[in-house]
Amino acid sequence: MEKSKVIGLVSAMALVPAFASAAEDGHPTYAKEVSRILQDNCQICHQPGQIGPMSLMSYEEVRPWAPLIQMKVAQREMPPYQYDRDVGVQHLKNDWRLSQADIDTIVDWVNAGSPMGNPEDLPAPKQFPDVGEWRLAAELGPPDHLIKSTPWDVPANGQDLWWEPQVDSGITETRCIKAVETLPSVAAHGSTHHANSHFLVQNEKGEWVTYGRLSEFAYGKLGEKTPEGACRTAPANSKVEWSIHYYPDGKAVKDDQVTVGIWYYDEEDNFDEKTAYRQDLRLYNLDGGGDYLIPPHGTLMTQGFHSFDHPVRIDSWQPHLHLRGVAMSMEVFYPETGRRETLSQASNWNAGWNHSHTYEDGYQPLIPAGATIILTSWFDNTENNPRNPDPDQWVGAGQRTTDEMSHAWIAVTHLDDEGYQKLLAERQERDQRMVSAGDR
**DSSP letter string, 296-319:** TT-EEEEEEEEE-SS-EEEEEEEE
**DSSP letter string, 105-165:** HHHHHHHTT-----GGGPPPPPP-PPTTS-TTHHHH-S-SEEEEPPPEEEPSS-S-EEE--
From 121, 156, 188, the end of a domain falls on: 121
pLDDT the model gives residue 5: 41
**Same domain for 264 and 285:** no
What is the domain count for the chain? 3
What is the per-residue pLDDT across 294-352, written as a single tens digit (0 to 9) for each?
Answer: 999 999 999 999 999 999 999 999 999 999 999 999 999 999 999 999 999 999 888 87
**Same domain for 151 and 268:** yes
Domain that holds residue 367: 276-440
**Same domain for 265 and 153:** yes
In a domain, 412, yes or no: yes
In a domain, 264, yes or no: yes
**Same domain for 254 and 365:** no
Give the SS3 label for residue 41.
Answer: helix
In a domain, 148, yes or no: yes
In a domain, 126, yes or no: no
- What confidence category does residue 14 fall into, taking pLDDT thresholds of 50, 70 and 90? very low
Centroid of chain to Cα 163 = 23
4-18, 46-60, 63-77: the lowest-pLDDT one? 4-18
**Same domain for 397 and 356:** yes
In a domain, 320, yes or no: yes
- What confidence category does residue 367 fall into, taking pLDDT thresholds of 50, 70 and 90? very high
How far apart (Å, rounded) are the C-alpha atoms in residues 217 and 343? Answer: 23
- What confidence category does residue 439 fall into, taking pLDDT thresholds of 50, 70 and 90? low
Residue 13 has pLDDT above 80, yes or no: no
**Same domain for 432 and 290:** yes
From 257, 274, 291, the end of a domain falls on: 274
**Same domain for 256 and 137:** yes
In a domain, 127, yes or no: no
| Closest-CA residue to 375 (of 306, 280, 292, 300) | 306
Strand-pairing partners, residue 345, are 329
pLDDT the model gives residue 192: 87
Residue 414 has pLDDT above 90, yes or no: yes
What CATH number is associated with residue 201?
2.60.120.230
Mean pLDDT, the chain, integer: 88
**Same domain for 345 and 432:** yes
From 218, 250, 274, the end of a domain falls on: 274
Residue 19 has pLDDT above 80, yes or no: no
Residue 170 has pLDDT above 60, yes or no: yes
**Same domain for 392 and 351:** yes
**Same domain for 316 and 184:** no
**Same domain for 413 and 370:** yes
In a domain, 175, yes or no: yes
**Same domain for 257 and 230:** yes
In a domain, 283, yes or no: yes
